[in-house]
């Protein structure tokens, strides 16, 4: 299969800093869309994966799955995109498309494993997939998203992961008006969770460990902000939540949040810390509660979320960086110094 080389940033091993490298992309096939990448959001999963905090990292690793770009080429069977369109790619670039889960629009749970945007086996070129810290990507049109008009493109990029990962569980667990909903951690995912929960009409409480994020939490849509380091402030909410979405990237005490859930309420984990979280059975059984998890969202739901964002004028709060600042940005994320998503201006790859 024919391919072409493109500029990228990635890491050759473990904790090495990210550095420039060259990767190959396949020439667009009949159903493929080739995109010039304009912006790519920086997800904490990029750090977990590139640094082998999660199992199975293949090197060199080129992260990035919050991609917004412009279509530069389409295959002769492509019907949904034309050259010049604004398009997007999230966390997946393919799946089997035939299993029950794929047929139900849950490609992220494909029974034959979705092809993730990076670090998955590449069905076309062999080797593994490369993410959006790169100048171009080629994807089957079924896995490309349309960016509705009117959205700021750089601030839209984080919707492709942080957006859908919070939108999907809030919808699945029926967060609506009259529900009391907690969002834990004001980072990339958390700040989108706050915005969506508010837009869905819930009473929104943000939990943060960072005293300097209280004002922003309220500005972004929380009705209340609780410093989770203050046991008295936490105790006031005991047994009162219908739903809590935990967006924390590191080890923390989830029992403190389970205690705040009411009868038959649910705590859903979307954060994926490197090490297992300890669960006290007591925090689950009294009264009866659910502990759950959720992974991104399917392609149709991702498009639904983008359309919802255009309608409700929701985008991410971002700090735009040239790719040369990516290592600094990662260090800041690890210090919880994030307001509230870094987005790479991919044009800087040419520098």
Binding residues among 253-312 for Zn ion as defined by CB under 5 A: none
Cα 261 to Cα 317: distance, rounded to the nearest angstrom: 29
CB-wise, 90 or 182, nearer to Zn ion?
Answer: 90
For residue 213, the partner it binds in ligand NAP, Zn ion, none, with Cβ less than 5 to 8 A by kind, is: ligand NAP
Buried b (16+ CB within 10 A) or exposed e, 103-120: eeebbbbbeeebbbbbbb
Report, in Å, the least distance between residue 142 CB and ligand NAP. 20
Query: Distances from the Cα of 210 to the Cαs of 24, 48, 241, in angstroms?
Result: 41, 21, 22
189 is a site residue for ligand NAP (CB under 6 A): yes
Report, in Å, the least distance between residue 58 CB and Zn ion. 18
Q: Rule CB under 6 A: choose which of 132, 185, 265, 298 binds ligand NAP.
A: 185
CB-wise, 28 or 329, nearer to ligand NAP?
Answer: 329
Query: Distances from the Cα of 337 to the Cαs of 104, 279, 319, in angstroms?
Result: 38, 28, 11
Which among 33, 117, 86 is positioned nearest to 296, based on CA atoms? 117
Binding residues among 208-247 for ligand NAP as defined by CB under 6 A: 208-210, 213, 247
For residue 284, the partner it binds in ligand NAP, Zn ion, none, with Cβ less than 5 to 8 A by kind, is: none
Q: φ, ψ for residue 331 (rounded to 5)?
A: -65, -40
CB-wise, 190 or 265, nearer to ligand NAP?
Answer: 190
Q: φ, ψ for residue 287 (rounded to 5)?
A: -80, 175
Report, in Å, the least distance between residue 32 CB and ligand NAP. 25
Site string for ligand NAP, 278-307 (x = CB under 6 A): ----------------xxx-----------
Which among 21, 100, 88, 32 is positioned nearest to 61, based on CA atoms? 21
For residue 220, the partner it binds in Zn ion, ligand NAP, none, with Cβ less than 5 to 8 A by kind, is: none
Q: Rule CB under 6 A: choose which of 25, 44, 203, 237 binds ligand NAP.
A: 44
Write out the E strands in the chain: 3-10, 19-26, 32-41, 67-74, 86-89, 92-94, 115-116, 136-140, 145-146, 180-184, 203-208, 224-227, 241-246, 261-269, 290-293, 318-322, 341-345
Cα 24 to Cα 226: distance, rounded to the nearest angstrom: 47
Binding residues among 322-341 for ligand NAP as defined by CB under 6 A: 333, 336, 338
Site string for Zn ion, 159-188 (x = CB under 5 A): --x---------------------------
Binding residues for Zn ion, total number by CB under 5 A? 8
Report, in Å, the least distance between residue 21 CB and ligand NAP. 23
For residue 95, the partner it binds in ligand NAP, Zn ion, none, with Cβ less than 5 to 8 A by kind, is: Zn ion
- At 336, is the secondary structure helix, strand, or coil? coil
Report, in Å, the least distance between residue 294 CB and Zn ion. 13
Positive or negative: CA dihedral 98, 103, 107, 113: negative
Helix H or strand E encompassing 187? none
- At 260, is the secondary structure helix, strand, or coil? coil
Binding residues among 13-72 for Zn ion as defined by CB under 5 A: 43, 45
Neighbouring C-alpha atoms within 13 Å toward the C-beta of 327: 10
**Of 9-17, 99-107, 213-221, 267-275: span binding Zn ion (CB under 5 A):** 99-107
Q: Are 7 and 349 in contact (CB under 8 A)?
A: yes
Binding residues vs ligand NAP (CB under 6 A): 43-45, 48, 161-162, 165, 185-190, 208-210, 213, 247-250, 252, 270-273, 294-296, 333, 336, 338
Binding residues vs Zn ion (CB under 5 A): 43, 45, 95-96, 99, 102, 110, 161
């Amino acid at each position: 299969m024919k391919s072409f080389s493109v500029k990228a940033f990635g890491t050759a091993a473990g904790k090495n800093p990210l550095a420039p490298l060259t990767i190959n992309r396949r020439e667009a096939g009949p159903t493929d869309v080739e995109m010039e990448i304009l912006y790519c959001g920086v997800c904490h999963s990029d750090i977990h994966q590139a640094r082998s905090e999660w199992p199975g990292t293949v090197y060199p690793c080129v992260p990035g799955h919050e991609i917004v770009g412009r279509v530069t080429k389409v295959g002769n069977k492509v019907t949904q995109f034309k050259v010049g369109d604004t398009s997007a790619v999230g966390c997946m670039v393919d799946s089997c498309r035939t299993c029950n889960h794929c047929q139900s629009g849950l490609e992220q749970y494909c029974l034959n494993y979705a092809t993730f945007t990076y670090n998955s086996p590449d069905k076309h070129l062999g080797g593994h997939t490369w993410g959006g810290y790169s100048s171009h990507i080629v994807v089957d049109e079924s896995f490309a998203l349309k960016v509705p008009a009117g959205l700021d493109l750089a601030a839209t990029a984080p919707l492709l992961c942080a957006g859908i990962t919070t939108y999907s569980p809030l919808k699945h667990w029926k967060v609506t008006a009259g529900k009391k909903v907690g969002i834990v951690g004001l980072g990339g995912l958390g700040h989108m969770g706050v915005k969506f929960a508010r837009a869905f009409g819930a009473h929104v409480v943000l939990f943060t460990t960072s005293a300097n994020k209280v004002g922003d939490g309220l500005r972004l849509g929380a009705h209340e902000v609780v410093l989770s380091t203050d046991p008295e402030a936490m105790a006031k909410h005991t047994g009162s939540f219908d739903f809590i979405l935990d967006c924390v990237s590191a080890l923390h005490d989830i029992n403190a949040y389970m205690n705040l859930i009411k009868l038959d309420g649910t705590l859903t984990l979307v954060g994926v810390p490197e090490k297992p979280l300890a669960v006290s059975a007591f925090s689950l059984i009294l009264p009866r509660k659910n502990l759950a998890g959720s992974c991104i969202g399917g392609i149709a739901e991702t498009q639904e979320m983008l359309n919802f964002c255009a309608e409700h004028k929701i985008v991410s709060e971002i700090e735009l960086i040239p790719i040369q600042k990516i290592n600094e940005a990662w260090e800041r994320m690890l210090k919880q110094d994030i307001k509230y998503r870094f987005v790479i201006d991919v044009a800087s790859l040419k520098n």
